[in-house]
Chains A and B, each alone.
Chain A
Amino acid sequence: MHKEAGERRDFLPAFAAVLERAGADRIVLEEGYGAGVGAGEAEYLGAARRLRFGTLEDCLAQNVVVVVRCPSEDALERIRPGSVLVSMLHYPTRPARVELLLARGIVGVSMDGIEDEGGLRLVENLEGVAWNGTREAFRKIRERHPHFDHPDRRPLHVTCLGSGRVGGLAVHAATRYGDPRLREELAVKLVPGVEVTVVDFDLTRHEDYLRTRLATTDLLIDATHRLDPTRPVVPNRWLADLPEDAVILDLAADPYQLDLEPALVKGVEGVPHGDLDRYVFETDDPAYDALEGGVETKNRRVALSCDSWPGLKPRRCMERYGEQLEPVMELILSRPADTWDAAGGSHIERAVARAEVARWAARA
């Protein structure tokens, strides 16, 4: 049930063992499951005795369906009423999906909505977002920078828009070129490192300031979480001040929704929206042309954008999700959804109950 060819993520055999330990009577995996993460059928069959392979229909017919990215509308229609769907469901930005789940009587549990009382997500891979994106961006800079490995070059300048969780991780990653081994390699050669400057909305809204900053930037990172996604943080015309050989990295991965009124745009205007099949965009990429008419793309730099950065390292990502989901699945497999207590119970029970679609919709 993969959305694009580059999507290689499936849960690992260790997760099947977790499900069996947690009391699953029957575990059905879609034919070919795990191929993208290098896990073969034998590994899964060895991990759980009550596991078998079947068709997509078989999988959708189970009491609990677990898949990282939300199934298509068509597949959702085929999940049985009363079944639990554990997936990245993104309720706040997908109202039609919420309606469909409620109408079909599917017990959605949104992986991205499982949060503790402090608002901290319990199932996430923001580290994968920041590190994978930053690593790819520095790869591109290294390709283009004639003196990248030279001890006499100046420190590289990164400007990061946004200081939230992704921004903080991006800072960490950027000071290490997104690649600890590269960092060590360059440190041995005494190559100066990276200076990362983070600016928030109280500076990004000042055109003079930001354009001056852009003029000295080698890598511009969008890690913003905008309150108003109809307005870019960096209008395309400001990009004229960014050096020609600079690179833009889109970690926010906000999609364009040009059919809405007002239209939703990316934080850095004119950057194409990428996915796991295609996430590096040279300035002559046809993806820019596809935006013409709705979005200004006159000023272009090499840009990197992906709507699923963690998917670049699928195995690592799924190890992490598997570990994070273990206590969640223990709860789901031990008790029916209507007994989950959002106010009492363990911290996991409260968090899962809050992420259940009907309770979420009632609050919203």
Chain B
Amino acid sequence: MGGTCLSFGFPRMYREAGERRDFLPPLIASLASTGCDVVAERGIGSGMGFGDHDYLAAGARIGDEAAAYAQDVVVVLRSPARFDLLNPGTTLVSMLHFPTRQSRVAELVERGLEAISLDSIEDDDGTRLVVNPRAVAWNGLEAAFQALSRTWPALETAERAPARVLIMGAGLIGKHAVEAATKFGDTFRAAWYSALGLPGVEAITVGRNLTGCERYLRARLSTIDILVDATQREDPSRPLIRNAWLARLPEHAVVCDLVVDPYLLDADPPTVRGIEGIPQGDLDRYVLPPDDPAWDRVPSGIPTGERRTVASCYSWPGVHPRECMELYGRQLEPLLGTLLERGGTRGLRADGTPLERALRRGSLRAWIERPADLVVV
């Protein structure tokens, strides 16, 4: 990494109790080794078994929350709820979701902040560079198979037919879901079942040209043990699976929600979930049986009469926080190194190196300066 002197702050996240993720010592060490001042908030990494001494050993100083936010570049996975601890001119590096968070963008601009949204850092082909679709798929399927083993004890008997998983959507997450499904969402479970001689899994994937085919879908649902939503809908105001169709699923079937679209009924047009009526979970609670109170919190007017056990989590990668942060740390290391070499966001050139170009694409500046006719889907 270069030698330009920027300081970095790593605050903690205060979300639900189940949110245990923080950036890990190796990322801090890679920055500190360049001579940069790195401040980590006291208690960082404690959700994953790390202590302040691990971060001190990596070269960080330990400070309070305000100190962590008072640096040139502030790196925190999920967006802070408030930006008042950030000084004007600071660069916030976080999952900021510019396209769907207009009020957040406005506040960043109003406060004179620079920002790089981790979810918008893309290479020249449009591939995200800080992303963990594998964990979304594997953690979701792991939870779904755990739930299935309870709703369908026959899963662990040799007499059953192969388990059937229907994956709607063949994109980035769907692709990982296929692999996860064929391994029961967990390589240990797969090895154990294999040793017992249990039949494996048929992972059936359908794209848009069949998910829109009601006759096909209703017939297929009756044969399915786990139904996975990994779609990217063109029209999020319409569900793919009507709540009434869930009646076709066997009673023991589990619905696995990897998309986690919210219900936004006040938006224009409104957003509803791909599988109508299912509740949304979070890191505190992501397996929701048919009698779970979460069903009662689904907005009124959305039918919820047909219910199956649902596995849903707003942040699937956080289920296994350490693995998640190891990956994000590896992905972020060269990007922060590039940011350092360029002396911050203002130094990023549109015709620079591939990583520089990717960082620039993820910046608030690029988002604000995007062509007016750019359509965001």
A residues lining the B interface (CB < 8 Å):
116-118, 155, 163-164, 167-169, 171-172, 175-176, 183, 186-187, 191-203, 206, 209, 320, 323, 326-327, 346-348
Nearest neighbor of B198 in chain A, beta-carbon distance: A202
- For the complex formed, measure the closest distance between the CB of A110 and the CB atoms of chain B, giving whole angstroms: 21
Given A164-B179, A172-B175: A192 in contact with B194 (beta carbons within 8 A)? no
Question: With contacts A168-B175, A171-B170 known, is A202 near B204, CB below 8 A?
Answer: no
Q: A192-B209, A197-B202 are in contact. List 5 more A-B contacts (CB 8 A).
A: A193-B210, A195-B204, A199-B162, A200-B200, A202-B194
Within 8 A of A (CB), among B197-216: 198-210, 213, 216
Q: How far is the CA of A198 from the CA of B201 in the complex (A)?
A: 8
**B159 interfacial contact with A, CB 8 Å:** no
- Residue B283 interfacial (CB < 8 Å): no
Q: Are B203 and A163 in contact (CB under 8 A)?
A: yes
What is the distance, in angstroms, from A21's C-beta to the closest C-beta of chain B? 9
**With contact pairs A169-B175, A171-B170 given, residues A198 and B209 touching in the complex (Cβ less than 8 Å):** no
Task: Tell whether A176 pairs with B207 under 8 Å between CB atoms, given A163-B178, A199-B200.
Answer: yes
The answer to whether A172 and B170 touch across the interface, beta carbons within 8 angstroms, is: yes
The answer to whether B199 touches A198 (Cβ under 8 A) is no
Contacts A171-B170, A347-B334 given; does A193 touch B175 at CB 8 Å: no
Report A302 CB to chain B, min CB distance, Å. Answer: 24
Residue of A nearest to B172 (CB): A172
**B205-A209 in contact (CB<8A):** no
List CB contacts (< 8 Å) of B163-206 with chain A.
Answer: 170-171, 174-176, 178-179, 181-183, 190, 193-194, 198-206
Instruction: For the complex, give the distance between the alpha carbons of A223 and B194 in Å.
Output: 21
For the complex, give the distance between the alpha carbons of A186 and B209 in Å.
9
A348 to B334, CA, bound (A): 9
Which of B162, B176, B333 is most buried by chain A, counting CB atoms within 10 A of its CB? B162
**CB contact between A118 and one of B194, B202, B327 (< 8 Å): that residue:** B327
Distance (Å) between the CB of A189 and the closest chain B CB?
Answer: 10
Flag if A171 contacts B213 (CB, 8 Å). Answer: no
Picked from B1, B125, B178, the residue with its CB within 8 Å of the CB of A167 is B178
Residue of B nearest to A205 (CB): B200
In whole angstroms, how far apart are the Cα atoms of A110 and B355 in the complex?
Answer: 22
Most interface-central of A175, A193, A209, A320 (chain B CB within 10 A)? A175
Chain B residues within an 8 Å CB radius of A192: 209-210, 213, 216
A346–B171 touching, CB < 8 Å: no
Contacts of B190 in A (CB 8 A): 202
B3 located at the interface, meaning its Cβ lies under 8 Å from any Cβ of chain A in the complex: no
A203 touches B179 (CB 8 A): no
CB distance from B162 to the nearest CB of A (A): 6
In the complex the two chains form, is B193's CB within 8 Å of A193's CB?
Answer: no
Contact string against A for B residues 350-377, beta-carbon threshold 8 Å, 1 for contact and 0 otherwise: 0001110000000000000000000000
Does the CB pair B213–A193 fall under 8 Å? yes
Q: Which residues of A contact B162 (CB under 8 A)?
A: 199, 203, 209
Is B281 an interface position by the 8 A CB rule? no
Given A118-B327, A168-B176: A203 and B202 interface contact (C-beta under 8 Å): yes
Contact B206 A202 (CB under 8 A): no
Residues from chain B with Cβ under 8 Å of A187 in the complex:
208-209
**B330 interface residue, CB < 8 Å from A?**
yes
For A209, list chain B residues within 8 Å (CB).
162, 199
| Closest A residue, CB atoms, query B1 | A346
Q: In the complex, which residues of chain B have a beta carbon less than 8 angstroms from the beta carbon of A200?
A: 182-183, 200-201
- Are A202 and B193 in contact (CB-based, < 8 A)? yes
> Nearest CB to that of A154 among chain B residues?
B216
Which 5 A-B residue pairings sit nearest by Cβ, starting from the closest? A193-B209, A202-B200, A175-B207, A168-B175, A200-B182
What B residues does A198 contact at CB under 8 A?
178, 181-182, 202-205
Q: Which of B174, B210, B337 sits near A172, CB closer than 8 Å? A: B174
CB neighbors of A among B208-265 (8 A)? 208-210, 213, 216, 220
Tell whether A175 pairs with B206 under 8 Å between CB atoms, given A192-B213, A347-B333: yes
Complex-state Cα separation, A348 to B333, whole angstroms: 11
For B190, the closest partner residue in chain A by CB is A202
Question: What is the minimal beta-carbon distance from A351 to any residue of chain B, in angstroms?
Answer: 11
Report whether B199 and A323 are in contact in the complex, using a CB–CB cutoff of 8 Å.
Answer: no
**Is B178's CB under 8 angstroms from A171's CB?**
yes
A117 touches B206 (CB 8 A): no
A155, A163, A187, A209: residue with the most chain B Cβ atoms closer than 10 Å: A163
Q: Which of A117, A168, A195 contacts B330 (CB 8 A)?
A: A117
